Amino acid sequence: MSLPDYAIEARGLVKTYPATKTMPAKTALKGIDLAIPRGSMFGLLGPNGAGKSTFINILAGLCQKTGGTAAIWGVDIDEHPRAARAAIGVVPQELAADVFFTPRESMETQAGLYGVPKRERKTDEILAALGLSDKADAYVRALSGGMKRRLMVAKAMVHSPPVVILDEPTAGVDVELRRQLWAYVQELHAEGVTIVLTTHYLEEAQELCDTIAIVNHGQVVACEPTSSLLRRLDTRSVVITPPEPLEHLPVIAGFDAKLRKGQLVVTYKTEAASVEGVLAAVRAAGVQIKDLATEDPDLEDVFLALTYGDPSAQDPTRD
């Protein structure tokens, strides 16, 4: 059997939550079309309430879709639900583990639920990779929050799925744990595992992901290679350091400007102006220049533009 082109493929995916006595009906997904290439490190971004968790829950079998189709590793989630779920490992945002089990027992139980034969289980190998070997026989209730987070990742890997979804995996963890988690995730990716990441740490997505989709109000507003996405904004910024820190923002004619720790940051459209034009306007405003640097837009700038409305970042080919 040949490998699928897409690790996850959704077409016209809709989810509407019915009305209750206290809440009106709500459509969380409004026809999601998304094809995640096999072997990619894929970022799924969006503000709170955009529909990311609903999308993940549908793939994981925790939520029933209202319409459309979805397939994991080429397997339709409706036609072959068990096979589809066997192809995916999900690390949820919430820390959910039986506190009366040890990590080893928790892993073995999870492997049993997936029907992994004992001779094929990699419990100790996975625990070691995530730095949990010395806690393998401690009760989960005695683990720190960071260790419980590692255990959630470990449990998602017991059946060696070809697709792993990490839903806010580094939320609330320290820098060292974040580094360890990403080192392990990158090892998995190097072995051919498709990684889907949701995160509010946009610098992580920019650094790690080769492709990024941004979801807003239940719709995909962008999906393209990270480098292409960063080119959506045709802006740059010039950071001016004066001899003495500025206390008041001068008027820079024709440009947007702001103060940042005594420095002057002037933003301009690359198609309409140049650094020389910015410097001329800064000098005309009476600001002396001790040093300067230029900055390109980062993923946060593009994310804010696409989710909170900057027409210059919109894709003209998308309705």
CB-CB contact of 18 with 12 (8 Å): no
Position 1 scores a pLDDT of 62
pLDDT digits (tens, 9 = 90+) for 108-126: 999 999 999 999 999 999 9
Answer for the pair 300, 306: CB distance below 8 angstroms, yes or no.
no
Tell me which residue of 223, 316, 313, 206 sits closest to 269, measured CA to CA: 313
Q: Which 3 state secondary structure label does DSSP give 257?
A: strand
pLDDT tens string 175-184 = 887 888 888 8
More confident: 94 or 87? 87
% of the chain residues with pLDDT over 70: 96
User: Which tokens sit at 13?
Assistant: 């995916």
Q: From CA 41, how far away is CA 45, in angstroms rounded?
A: 13
What integer is the mean pLDDT of 24-28?
92
Provide the strand spans (E) within 41-145: 41-45, 67-72, 75-76, 88-91
- The secondary structure of residue 45, as a DSSP letter, is E
What is the reported pLDDT for 38?
95
Is residue 95 over pLDDT 80? no
Question: Strand 194-198 vs strand 163-167: parallel, antiparallel, or unpaired?
Answer: parallel
- Domains along the sequence of the chain with CATH: 6-225 (3.40.50.300), 235-296 (3.30.70)
**So what's the pLDDT on residue 309?**
62
Exposure b/e, 250-270, CB count within 10 A at least 16 = b: bebeebebeeeeebbbbbbee
